[in-house]
Structure 1
Amino acid sequence: MSAITLTTWSLEMTSARDLVPAAVPGPEIHIARAEVPSPEFSRFLYASVGGDIHWTDRLALTRAQWVETLGRPGVETWVAYDRGTPAGYVELDPQPDGVVEIMYFGLLPDFRGRRIGGHLLTAGVARAWDLASRWPELEPTRRVWLHTCSQDGPTAMDNYLRRGFKVFRTETEQKEDAPTPGPWPGA
Structure 2
Amino acid sequence: MTLTVTTWYLEQTAPGDLAPASAPPEEQRVRIARAEVISPEFSRFLYASVGGDIAWTDRLGWSYRQWEEFLGRPGVETWVAYERDTPAGFVELDAQAEGVVEISYFGLLPAFRGRRIGGHLLAYGTARAWDLAERWPERAKTRRVWVHTCSKDGPHALDNYRRRGFRVSATESAEETEKPTPGPWPGA
If the TM-score is normalised by the length of the shorter chain, which range does it land in? over 0.9
* 1:88-118 Cα shifts (integer Å, max 9, x gaps): 0000000000000000000000000111000
Residue in 2 aligned with 1:173?
Answer: 174
Q: In the alignment, is residue 76 of structure 1 matched against residue 77 of structure 2?
A: yes
**Secondary structure of the equivalent of 1:184?**
coil
Distance 1:139 1:18 in 2: 19
Deviations 1:39-72 (A, max 9, x none): 0000000000000000000000000000000000
SS of residue paired to 1:69: helix
What per-residue deviation string (whole Å, max 9, x for no partner) do you get for residues 18-59 of structure 1?
Answer: 100000002310000001110000000000000000000000
Counterpart residue number, 1:18: 17
Q: Which runs of 5+ in 1 are unaligned?
A: none
Who is 1:7 aligned against?
6
Give the direction of change, closer, same or farther, for the CA distance of 1:92–1:120 in structure 2 (3 Å limit).
Answer: same
Is residue 132 of structure 1 aligned with residue 133 of structure 2? yes
Q: State the match for 2:42 in structure 1.
A: 41
The equivalences for 1:93-104 within 5 A come to 93-104=94-105
Match of 1:63 in 2: 64
Q: CA deviation at 1:186?
A: 8.6
Partners of 2:67 and 2:104 lie apart in 1 by 14
Q: Give 3-state SS (helix, strand or coil) of 2:33's partner.
A: strand
Q: CA RMSD in A?
A: 1.0
Gapped runs of 5+ residues in structure 2?
Answer: none
Q: Secondary structure at the match of 2:22?
A: coil
Amino acid at match of 2:15: A
Supply the distance in 2 between the matched residues of 1:160 and 1:92 (Cα, whole angstroms): 15
Relative to the length of structure 2, the TM-score reads: 0.97
Tell me how far apart the structure 2 counterparts of residues 23 and 186 of structure 1 sit (CA, whole Å): 35
* 2:46 counterpart of 1:29: no
> Which string of whole-angstrom CA distances, capped at 9 and with x for unpartnered residues, describes residues 138-168 of structure 1?
0000000000000000000010000000000
SS in 2 for 1:86: strand
Supply the AA of the counterpart residue of 1:175.
E
